[in-house]
């Protein structure tokens, strides 16, 4: 257990993955679960919604019609954040002027996809057993593999694959992309406008800020520790200690990280060095499906509501140096906003925006509560 005094005093915890700190104030909320109490919520949605642009057989905004899919379905986002083709931008010469130093911009292109997790409109990952989450992981792997740099060490480990016709639109990428971000925003609290279970995949020619920062620290740790992997070491440490563990199996540790910012933040980390999805064998994929099912079900059981979160996979870039690829380690972040109940949220404002992140409930307290939320999904008991 961490020093008992840390349960009573404000303190800062270091995040070696980002090289940053978080302020912890446990004395502010001794028993954070004794807040607002609400009745358990049901999902009052139909299995099929004729107005949903993600349901099988429905027409999307741009006029394309979805197939009558029965597992996952992938298509190029009709309103993509980045485009494959756009007007050329040539930055002004770096002439040393004030403007050239402070007013910088660069062109970024890419391709964005939407992936539905199920044909059913009225479920979430929390409702899905592991065997029905497995096709989602297989689809993630297929999309990632199809965008790999053929010169990457990962290309040798990857099984041959092609994009589903709905995702490729008959076209190969116009250029080699640097990074692929796979993520899900669940719930209106996280800006999700469509309840149909789905996630997104954005590929870009640039390396985004957050994975870039993590990759720098992963490389630094590997150099300083003689080839050891930061997250592999961390998962082993947490598995041994146990107090921040929520769930684990033979392939993955899942728990509330020592440095977590959000009240019930969870990281899923491969126990062995897995650089990306293409390094997984069949058992790894099945274990990941089990972990995702366990985590999302516990989230919903915690406040007996459809628990909102942003979830994202971090893994090796599609194209990079050997050092970058080998230092990468597959992990997933779950960032949920709820604090006390289904409607009482944690806001990162004021001090958090102007100084550094702050949390009240400790990761150890959060992990214990989530461990205790296992078992049957609460909604099934309401029927």
Kindly state the tokens that stand for 14. 């270091």
**Chain centroid to CA 11:** 27
> What string of DSSP letters covers 62-78?
TS-B----SS-EEEE-T
Which of the 8 DSSP states describes residue 235? H
Kindly state the tokens that stand for 219. 């490389």
Which one of 147, 196, 198, 333 is the catalytic residue?
A: 198
Give dist(CA 140, CA 277) in Å, integer: 8
Longest alpha-carbon distance in the chain? 69
**174 catalytically annotated:** no
> In angstroms, how far is the first alpha carbon of the chain from the final one?
40
Under 8 Å between Cβ of 324 and 275: no
Q: Is the alpha carbon torsion for 85, 182, 307, 9 positive or negative?
A: negative
Give dist(CA 295, CA 305) in Å, integer: 14
**Length of the chain measured in residues:** 383
From the list 109, 178, 138, the residue with the least C-alpha distance to 325 is 178
Catalytic residues: 198
């Amino acid at each position: 257990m961490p020093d008992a005094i840390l349960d009573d005093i404000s303190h800062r915890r270091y995040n070696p993955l980002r090289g940053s700190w978080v302020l912890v104030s446990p004395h502010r909320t001794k028993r954070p679960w004794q807040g607002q109490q609400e009745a358990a919520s049901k999902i009052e949605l139909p299995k099929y919604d004729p107005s949903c642009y993600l349901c099988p057989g429905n027409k999307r905004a741009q006029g394309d019609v979805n197939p009558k899919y029965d597992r996952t379905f992938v298509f190029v986002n009709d309103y993509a954040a980045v485009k494959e083709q756009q007007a050329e931008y040539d930055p002004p010469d770096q002439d040393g002027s004030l403007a050239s130093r402070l007013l910088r911009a660069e062109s970024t292109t890419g391709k964005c996809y939407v992936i539905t997790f199920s044909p059913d409109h009225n479920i979430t990952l929390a409702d899905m057993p592991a065997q029905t989450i497995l096709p989602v992981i297989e689809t993630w792997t297929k999309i990632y593999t199809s965008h790999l740099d053929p010169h990457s060490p990962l290309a040798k480990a990857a099984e041959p694959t092609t994009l589903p016709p709905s995702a490729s639109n008959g076209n190969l990428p116009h250029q080699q992309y640097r990074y692929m971000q796979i993520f899900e925003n669940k719930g209106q609290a996280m800006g999700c406008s469509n309840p149909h279970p789905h996630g997104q995949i954005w590929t870009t020619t640039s390396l985004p800020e957050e994975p870039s920062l993590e990759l720098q620290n992963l490389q630094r740790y590997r150099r300083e520790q003689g080839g050891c992997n930061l997250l592999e070491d961390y998962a082993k440490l947490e598995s041994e200690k146990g107090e921040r563990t929520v769930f684990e199996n033979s392939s993955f540790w899942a728990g509330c990280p020592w440095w977590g910012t959000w009240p019930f933040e969870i990281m899923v980390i491969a126990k062995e060095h897995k650089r990306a999805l293409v390094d997984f064998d069949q058992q790894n994929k099945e274990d990941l499906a089990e972990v995702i099912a366990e985590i999302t079900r516990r989230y919903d059981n915690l406040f007996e509501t459809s628990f909102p979160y942003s979830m994202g996979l971090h893994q090796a870039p599609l194209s990079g140096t050997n050092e970058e690829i080998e230092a990468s380690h597959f992990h997933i972040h779950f960032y949920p906003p709820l604090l006390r109940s289904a409607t009482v949220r944690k806001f990162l404002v004021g001090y958090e925006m102007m100084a550094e992140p702050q949390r009240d409930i400790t990761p150890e307290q959060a992990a214990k509560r989530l461990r205790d939320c296992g078992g049957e999904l609460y909604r099934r008991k309401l029927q």
